[in-house]
Chains A and B, each alone.
Chain A
Amino acid sequence: MVTTTAGLGEHPPGGEEPAPFLSATGIVKSFGPVHVLRGVDFAIRPGTVTALVGDNGAGKTTLIKGLAGIQPFDAGRVQFEGREVHIDSPRAAAELGIEVVYQDLALCDNLDIVQNMFLGRELHRGVTLDEAAMEHRAGETLRGLSVRTVSSLRQQVAQLSGGQRQTVAIARAVLWNRKVVILDEPTAALGVAQTEQVLALVRELRSAGLGVVIISHNLQDVFAVADLIYVLYLGTMTACLPAAQTTPGEVVEYITGGRTAAQDA
């Protein structure tokens, strides 16, 4: 089932890029008779924004859920920093340093920013919560990301705009020195100005040396931040294109299956 695709994995475009944080090869995943991923190769590099595009049902979510440990793959190899790993639970993914920010963000409206960022991983001082330490670290993290859009760390999330919520969710993901942050449709529900905020945040993550994966239907946003664009088509990775050397038109052709790796070669 393994198909050869254009410029994947071992042949990074541009030549002297750093070794990938994560490289997946020959990934296969089926749900009963439905083959969702048919031998997919994928890589996430430090300081690189990798876009994962594809039409609905192409397998983007399945690939991400596998890397996040929610639905382990049926077959294939996953290496993290050169070591072979088995990501079989969300905890395992977190221990490696992989964090996923889902489209629904998973924030508690009735808690404030600090409480959300530390939810489930609260800092303690004896038996009590160490609010000052948590507030301090949350503030440092947001400042490190050059976030200027929230007015108070103790604001309830219910009072935040869509872009601010996305910011909080991303900040929570990088709070724990993550290496890889996967963003699922981060700009889907946002207006123009808020989209720009989030894209600026993505660039901050890149310059901090993180490996960022962004899943999006919006090619304008993809071209605005991505270094590499991976295209999934019906469970096969049909293209890996350096954003600087391709056009939205070409990417759309790959997404819709109008052009395949074979034709390309």
Chain B
Amino acid sequence: MANGMASPTEQSGTMATAEEPGYLRSGQQDGLRGGLVRLRSGDMGSLPALIGLVVLVILFALLRPTFLTPLNFANFFTQAALVMILAMGLVFVLLLGEIDLSAGVTSGVAAAILAVLIQKQGVAWPIAVTAALASGIAIGLFIGMMVARIGVPSFVVTLALFLGLQGLVLVIIGEGGNIRITEPVILAIQNRNLPPLLGWVFYAIVVVGYLTAALLGRRQRLVRGFPATPLLTILAKAAVLALLGFGMVWVLNLERSINPAKNPLSGVPIIVPIIALLTIVFWFLLNRTAFGRHIYAVGGNVEAARRAGISISYVRIVCFCICSGTAAFAGLVYASRAASVDPNAGRFVVLSAVAAAVIGGTSLFGGRGRIQDALIGGAVVAVIDNGMGLLGYSAGTKLMITGGVLMLAASADALSRRRRLTGG
């Protein structure tokens, strides 16, 4: 799912005569050489986050050996899932240069609706899930209308909703204060694992799927006599993906229970393929469709997008719907993990999610960012949380450190933007 990351292009020779202008031969300027150019122009993408992630993992592994156990590895995914999913939705509004401060409480509303419908009204889970997701999309529609049609800054609209929706959660849940979730399907999202064999099937689908997509894309270019990504680059990337994935699935398929005799525990957590599927869908939307292209255009230069005939309002409204809809889905994940819904649901998580997207390399100024940023940044936030928890630090210290990292990432974002603007 790399961003068509071609590299120094293959000399296909079909049109590489001496008098031809260079651009006809050069194809996509991504990959290594393009990456260096972007780095020099101050566009660091998710490189700092990846380096930070590796450093943090090494650091925590040295300080606390339990950090690298299969059990903690599996826990890491269930802990990171909420922030990652919320951050994926936020990428869509951040790309427009907007923000959604209400994403966290939107997931709270969805979780509350789900809990009340299933546990109190006895509604079947598919209907309850649909209602919960629909509530998220409705909230997104409202935000989008306020921002795009009336012109209220998204910061203000979503800050108002941040307060208002907390009230709504209280009203939905009622005086009781806490609803337990007992529906097995909902609980499975964050508490069940794929059988080991299915884990390998999932692994095979991802690797073969990636390879097929990359090779088909390459063929499509070669058929038209166009320079394309060298076969070796595609194979190398597929090999890295296959190797990392193999390690991951292998570790997750190990017995990781503290008491294997009583409660055997192994397999890829169900949330992992769910996140993978969400990532692929969103990646496709952003990189392979005209709508995704228009999101980047609106975030990059609204006036240019308008003159190109793009409906700015439509793009804005749909992006807010995607963000809030994804937040609602995160609400299901939250309800599953906590096995209950309380009035505080989703109140604090939104800033972690914004932090995750920005740490991953998505710009707060719009126009720059990728769906993968949400995963990488979410992993950083979750590793800090998990590792410091193992080291016995208090919640207060963890919050301060996460805040500091967000500040660092936002400063880097602002500095690189300044460098781009002055560097021309």
Interface residues in B281-325 by Cβ distance below 8 A to A read 288-290, 293-294, 296-297, 299-301, 303-305, 307-310
Q: How far is the CB of A68 from chain B (nearest CB, A)?
A: 10
| A72 within 8 Å of B (CB atoms) | no
Residues in A whose Cβ lies below 8 Å from that of B288: 127-129
Interface centre among B22, B27, B308, B368 (most CB of A within 10 A): B308
User: Is the beta-carbon distance between A154 and B221 smaller than 8 angstroms?
Assistant: no
Q: Could you say which of A104, A110, A124, A155 contacts B29, with CB atoms under 8 Å apart?
A: A155
User: Is the beta-carbon distance between B24 and A111 smaller than 8 angstroms?
Assistant: no
| B120 within 8 Å of A (CB atoms) | no
| A150 within 8 Å of B (CB atoms) | yes
Known: A122-B293, A132-B220, A132-B224. A106 touches B304 (CB 8 A): yes
User: Is the beta-carbon distance between B28 and A154 smaller than 8 angstroms?
Assistant: yes
Interface residues in A74-114 by Cβ distance below 8 A to B read 90-91, 102, 104-113
Interface residues in B212-226 by Cβ distance below 8 A to A read 220-221, 224, 226
User: Is the beta-carbon distance between B29 and A152 smaller than 8 angstroms?
Assistant: yes
Q: How far is the CB of B230 from chain A (nearest CB, A)?
A: 16
User: Is the beta-carbon distance between B226 and A111 smaller than 8 angstroms?
Assistant: no
Closest chain A residue, CB of each to CB of B308 = A120
Q: Report the interface size class on chain B.
A: 35 or more
Residues in B whose Cβ lies below 8 Å from that of A159: 37, 41
Q: Could you say which of B21, B300, B301, B309 contacts A143, with CB atoms under 8 Å apart?
A: B21
Interface residues in B377-396 by Cβ distance below 8 A to A read none
| A224 within 8 Å of B (CB atoms) | no
Q: Which residues of B contact A (CB under 8 A)?
A: 4, 20-24, 26-30, 34, 37-38, 41, 220-221, 224, 226, 288-290, 293-294, 296-297, 299-301, 303-305, 307-310, 367-368, 420, 424
Inter-chain CA distance A83–B351, complex, in Å, is 60
Interface centre among A109, A116, A158 (most CB of B within 10 A): A158
Q: How far is the CB of A58 from chain B (nearest CB, A)?
A: 24
| A35 within 8 Å of B (CB atoms) | no
User: Is the beta-carbon distance between B309 and A91 smaller than 8 angstroms?
Assistant: yes
Which of A22-30, A134-142, A190-198 lies at the interface with chain B?
Answer: A134-142
| A153 within 8 Å of B (CB atoms) | yes
User: Is the beta-carbon distance between A142 and B289 smaller than 8 angstroms?
Assistant: no
User: Is the beta-carbon distance between B307 and A106 smaller than 8 angstroms?
Assistant: yes
Inter-chain CA distance A180–B310, complex, in Å, is 22
Interface centre among B23, B38, B299, B310 (most CB of A within 10 A): B23
| A119 within 8 Å of B (CB atoms) | yes
Q: Could you say which of B23, B38, B294, B303 contacts A139, with CB atoms under 8 Å apart?
A: B23
Residues in B whose Cβ lies below 8 Å from that of A105: 304
Residues in A whose Cβ lies below 8 Å from that of B367: 108-110
| A6 within 8 Å of B (CB atoms) | no
| A62 within 8 Å of B (CB atoms) | no
State the 4 A-B residue pairs at the shortest beta-carbon distance, nearest first. Answer: A120-B308, A108-B300, A110-B300, A106-B304
Closest chain A residue, CB of each to CB of B311 = A120
11 of the cross-chain contacts (CB-CB < 8 Å) are A105-B304, A107-B304, A109-B420, A110-B300, A111-B293, A115-B296, A122-B290, A132-B220, A136-B224, A142-B21, A151-B23
| A147 within 8 Å of B (CB atoms) | yes
Q: How far is the CB of A152 from chain B (nearest CB, A)?
A: 4
Inter-chain CA distance A158–B304, complex, in Å, is 14
Inter-chain CA distance A107–B297, complex, in Å, is 9
Inter-chain CA distance A155–B20, complex, in Å, is 18
Q: Could you say which of B4, B310, B424 contacts A120, with CB atoms under 8 Å apart?
A: B310
User: Is the beta-carbon distance between A129 and B293 smaller than 8 angstroms?
Assistant: yes
Inter-chain CA distance A113–B24, complex, in Å, is 13
